[in-house]
């Protein structure tokens, strides 16, 4: 049913007449990324979604159009799901790192950026 997708075939004409034409639009990947990041537990989901969106957009535009490069929504969601699983499995390390970064930022502010 999805002729542009690998392994799919065009629907025969005698079946096409039984279906109505539907208008579709391209999904807003940045919003989808933001929601997925929030759902797997990232507090800075807005910033991360923007960075991921830019990364995937640049890769899609600048890398060659080879079959093994997949920057579709399935791949994006798979990567974000894996990030969430990694974060949950290393929850204590992530907390400690954020805590340490917070102290480092606080120290830099107090010293005026000098170490």
**What single-letter DSSP state applies at residue 42?**
-
Each as own residue / partner, the long-range contacts of residues 87-93 (CB below 8 Å, 24 or more positions apart, any chain) are 87/40, 87/41, 87/42, 88/40, 88/41
pLDDT in tens, 8-49: 777 788 888 888 888 888 889 999 999 999 988 888 889 999
Structure tokens, 95 = 């907390």
- Which residue intervals of the chain are DSSP H helices? 13-16, 29-39, 45-62, 73-89, 91-110
What tens digit of pLDDT does each residue of 38-86 get?
Answer: 988 888 889 999 999 999 899 888 888 877 777 888 888 899 899 888 8
Q: Which residue has the higher pLDDT, 100 or 65?
A: 65
Q: Which residues contact 34 (CB under 8 A, 6 or more apart)?
A: 45, 46, 49
CB 49 within 8 A of CB 33: yes
């Amino acid at each position: 049913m999805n002729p542009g997708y690998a392994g799919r075939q065009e629907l025969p004409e005698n079946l096409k007449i039984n279906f109505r034409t539907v208008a579709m639009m391209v999904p807003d990947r940045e919003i989808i990324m933001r929601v997925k990041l929030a759902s797997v537990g990232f507090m800075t989901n807005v910033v991360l979604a923007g960075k991921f969106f830019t990364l995937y957009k640049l890769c899609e535009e600048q890398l060659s159009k080879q079959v093994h490069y997949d920057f579709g929504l399935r791949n994006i969601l798979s990567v974000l799901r894996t990030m969430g699983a990694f974060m949950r499995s290393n929850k204590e390390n992530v907390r400690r790192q954020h805590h340490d970064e917070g102290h480092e930022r606080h120290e830099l502010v107090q010293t005026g950026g000098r170490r």
